[in-house]
Structure 1
Amino acid sequence: MTIEQERVSANHWPGLDVVPSGPRSQVSARIAKRLFRAAISRLDVTVMADGEVFGKGGPTMVITRPEEFYLRIGRHQLIGFGEAYLTGAWDAEDLGGFLQVLAAEMQNLVPPRLQKLRGLVVKRPPRTQKSSTKNSRSNIAHHYDLSNDLFRLFLDPTLSYSSALFEGEPLEATAADLEAAQGRKIERLLDEAGVGEGTRVLEIGSGWGELCIRAARRGATITSLTLSVEQKALADQRIAEAGFSDRCSVEIRDYRDVTGTYDAIVSVEMIEAVGWQFWRTYFETIDRVLAPGGKVAIQAITMPHDRMLATRNTYTWINKYIFPGGFLPSVQVIDEITRDHTTLQMSPAYSMGQHYARTLTLWDQAFLAHAQEVLALGFDETFLRMWHFYLEYSRAGFAAGYIDVNQLTFTRD
């Protein structure tokens, strides 16, 4: 077994086999049970537990170990909710459909009077996950260095790990449409950034090289930054196979350390890993290296401004298991930062939320279809449940409109 496979073996889930116990846990579990049942009773879902059925009817959740379920959410709130799924304390055949109903009512699940106590209950992100220069590489490696072979199993041939842009109604798109839709997304960004013959391009966040290849086809030269060793290795290989090694340079480099001057700067769903403490640094860096008359085009997952302000110091299930240090900005805060601290001016946002919901559905279908191959790579059953939950949890957020994804273009006077 390789080192990367050991990272996601059964030994990678410290504490998950420990159910909270003790008097404090029992009290919090009773409170959690009352709050959970009160919230569910107002929603269009069906929850089955201890022979009881509650909810107004809709996607079904089955709580197989109620005591464990309430102990986990009582002590660890939404992290505990996700961990209870990982251990099998609850399940749902239509996981995304069930989570979508919850996501649509996320702001109202807890009574307003109790939301004021939120800061006393929820956990704060660990300092070791703050996306500083010191921590960023390990944060990125936690996710993107899992295994290139894993990502190949559920992504399309472009290896684009971001929202596609479908032609027509997203909900009608099939797996056969995904590759063209990913290309359409990238081409739109390159158009927005004005990438063409002779353009000097900076890409912040390499992915596996598809944007580099497409920019090079236009006659541009590209410097692409990543902190993932695995991504760089495969991106270099794909770029060489496409015949563009002379035009594309993929570097292991933090965005804060970038030098040079660029006519166009593009970044696809990388700002989510920057951390709210460094958004200003991120855009000031872009402003510093953008040539006069240059343009910037980024694709960013966003959340409503009020929810962003309320949750920016919250440690989430996604932070713990999927993206350490990650946090979603709002379109408003991006506009405010660029107006107040840079010479950049943001054009109206191009929203693609429902396209992401469909993208995630197609990814999850492909992931589940290749479950045996995932296990053969050295990943365990807990990882299968975790990744399925992550993809469906994310899809639910987009489908419900709780989160969105936007292409944002910036210019100068």
Structure 2
Amino acid sequence: MTATTPRPDTSVELRAPYSPARAWAAERLFRLAARRLPVRVRLPGGEVLGRGGPDAPTMTVRRPEFFHRLGVRANIGFGEAYMAGDWTSPDPAAVLTPFAARMARLVPRPLQVLRRFVDAARPAAERNTPEGARANIHRHYNLSNDLFAAFLDESMTYSSAWFRPGDDLHAAQLRKIDGILDYAGVRAGSRVLEIGTGWGALAIRAARRGAHVTTLTISTEQRDLALAQVAEAGVADRVDVRLCDYRDATGRYDAVVSVEMIEAVGEEFWPAYFATLDRLVEPAGRVALQAITLPHDRMLATLRSHNWIHEYVFPGGMLLSVPAIEQQVSAHTGLAITARRSLGEHYARTLRCWRDRFLAADVAAIGFDETFRRLWEFYLAYSEAGFASGYLDVWQLRMARAR
């Protein structure tokens, strides 16, 4: 397992922009937000902001470049500042959680109309056309299988786990997979289509139930490792791993499952994705999805925005809200949502496990530098804060043909 794709360009974060006017405005907005939060923010001159006591989460702004980045690049600049060491924290997720919980109110409402002048626009090159989707996936999943193995559990499952008392991460990941397979009614003899292979854990688990699985990925590195995992598990006769875009899938299946792949589809292609689910499932079959969501008003507010996650981690990514999923199902399928469960609090715990494991790993030995390490630390902490605050959620959804 080796890295076969160029590292993301992190040189931009080392070149701090210089804009005194924007830095001045950003500092005042930041001060206004920080003063109301249960945190402690230490500024370069020694001033401390926030309502937090001595044990509150602490953020240290080490250099004034922080405000220049924030003023010029907003959300993207905030993340770049962490990558560059302009601000630090012993626990960035704990600092970010109260910010995430008040996301819609951090900027005073009269100033929110200026958002379109600050937020970066989504690059046209990141549209999730078949070619664009392959390029976007390549930039994330083809970084290195070794990188993901450094922090995932032994099943190489890269989605929210489902914990019960006494579970370690691996047991919780298997419970999550079983939950999706149960929703889809997967049993011995079932013909299953999985959209989004990951590294093969769900396909292997389904095959061990006696199902016959076709699983689709557009990542070459994921396919290669999934093939090896399937063979090692002794289920190669029941699992077909295909390098195939979901739009090109054919056939009919008793169960169609997809775990945290819809986030890579993009608004433009949501109708095609849901229509594909409808086309591929047998009339008496079931569809089971696991999807990361955000509140509907935030989805609408950020639909055209390009943020730090898009810039450095998930190009082309876009989250739906539960109402948006419901609308897409109603408009583009003959299916109905028949069951659902939220695992948002479990995702916060999953991400904490991943971050602890990532920070304990020697990523330099894999070929990744300190800037990249801080990039991924921030990504995992940023995501954990989203789920811990309730700003983000993740749902398992079961669908069946509407009667």
Secondary structure in structure 2 of the residue aligned to 1:251: strand
In the TM superposition, structure 1's runs of 4+ consecutive aligned residues that sit over 3 Å from their partners are none
Deviation at 1:71, TM superposition (A): 0.4
**TM-score (normalizing by structure 2):** 0.96
Report the residue type matching 1:166 in the other structure. Answer: F
Report the residue type matching 1:122 in the other structure. Answer: D
- Output one character per residue of 1:71-114: Cα deviation in whole Å (capped at 9) or x when no partner: 00000001000000100001011111000011111111000011
Within the candidate set 88, 93, 97, 2:90 is matched to 93
Kindly report which structure 2 residues correspond to 1:6-405, keeping only aligned pairs within 5 A, or say none.
Answer: 6-8=6-8, 12-21=9-18, 25-49=19-43, 50-57=45-52, 58-66=56-64, 68-168=65-165, 177-370=168-361, 372=362, 374-405=363-394
Aligned-residue RMSD, C-alpha: 1.2
**TM-score (normalizing by structure 1):** 0.94
- Structure 1 distance, partners of 2:237, 2:340, is 34
Report the residue type matching 1:394 in the other structure. Answer: S
Deviation at 1:17, TM superposition (A): 2.0
Kept in 2: contact 1:351–1:406 (CA 8 A): yes
- Structure 2 distance, partners of 1:237, 1:122, is 43
- Structure 2 distance, partners of 1:14, 1:192, is 45
Secondary structure in structure 1 of the residue aligned to 2:14: coil
Deviation at 1:7, TM superposition (A): 2.1
Deviation at 1:55, TM superposition (A): 1.0
Report the residue type matching 2:386 in the other structure. Answer: G
The sequence identity of aligned pairs, in percent, is: 53
Report the residue type matching 1:322 in the other structure. Answer: V
Secondary structure in structure 1 of the residue aligned to 2:38: coil
Deviation at 1:347, TM superposition (A): 2.2
Secondary structure in structure 2 of the residue aligned to 1:116: helix
- Structure 2 distance, partners of 1:213, 1:134, is 28
Report the residue type matching 2:378 in the other structure. Answer: F
Q: Which runs of 5+ in 1 are unaligned?
A: none
Deviation at 1:5, TM superposition (A): 6.4
Kept in 2: contact 1:223–1:251 (CA 8 A): yes
- Structure 1 distance, partners of 2:41, 2:6, is 36
- Output one character per residue of 1:148-172: Cα deviation in whole Å (capped at 9) or x when no partner: 111111111111110100114xxxx
- Structure 2 distance, partners of 1:267, 1:212, is 11
* Residues 369/95 of structure 1: CA separation in 2 closer, same or farther (3 Å cut): same
- Output one character per residue of 1:159-215: Cα deviation in whole Å (capped at 9) or x when no partner: 1110100114xxxx6xx6111111010011111101112111100000111111111
- Structure 1 distance, partners of 2:12, 2:150, is 29
Secondary structure in structure 2 of the residue aligned to 1:408: strand
Number of matched pairs: 397
Secondary structure in structure 2 of the residue aligned to 1:203: strand
